[in-house]
Amino acid sequence: MVMTSAGLIAVDTPPGWEQTTGPGLAAFMPQNLSTRDPDTLLILTSSPIEAGSAQQVLDAFIASDVAAFRHRFPGAVVHPETPIALPHYSGSAPVYSFQSGDPAHNPFEQVAYIADYRRIWLLTLSARNKSDLEHALPAFHAVVASYRGSIQFDDTK
């Protein structure tokens, strides 16, 4: 269980990784690194959503996320990956790969999107190079597949 300012999210820390301070609501990095600026991070963020059909809201959110990334990085490459099954929740999490083409700004990422009640949780694997991304994919898949739900704080006040 990870405590964030948006609520509690039930995910497992991937084996060989540790929670760290960093971007987003929570971040994880490979254990035993001598640097606090790792080449690979797992980042948890979220966005509140309006009521509606969960699939329609999720599809619209992903389309907006992809469009914003392509606007920020005109040469970006974005494509869908195989969704990750959520055996402890319901359904699966859509996953997209993002390549900014800009070595200074998260050049390689995969993002899993999980819609849960009034919030979309984004689990992002961010790496400085393709090799690091590929090496960390098993940890990314493990943390996404471990999702068991969330307890969300009321952010309407």
Tell me the HSE value of 88 on the side-chain side, using a 13 A CA sphere.
13
CATH code of the domain in which 20 resides: 3.40.1000.10
147 within a domain of the structure (yes/no) = yes
State the Cα–Cα distance between residues 101 and 106, nearest whole angstrom. Answer: 9
30 within a domain of the structure (yes/no) = yes
State the Cα–Cα distance between residues 17 and 10, nearest whole angstrom. Answer: 16
101 within a domain of the structure (yes/no) = yes
135 within a domain of the structure (yes/no) = yes
Position 131 pLDDT exceeds 80: yes
Task: Report the DSSP beta bridge partners of residue 79.
Answer: 97
pLDDT digits (tens, 9 = 90+) for 50-73: 766 677 888 999 999 999 999 999
For residue 29, the enclosing domain spans 2-152
Provide the number of structural domains found in the chain.
Answer: 1
Position 156 pLDDT exceeds 50: no
157 within a domain of the structure (yes/no) = no
pLDDT band at 34 (very low <50, low <70, confident <90, very high): low
pLDDT digits (tens, 9 = 90+) for 68-109: 999 999 999 999 999 999 999 988 999 999 999 887 777 899
Contacts of 13 (CB under 8 A, 6+ apart): 19, 28, 143
87 within a domain of the structure (yes/no) = yes
* Strand 119-127, strand 108-116: pairing: antiparallel
18 within a domain of the structure (yes/no) = yes
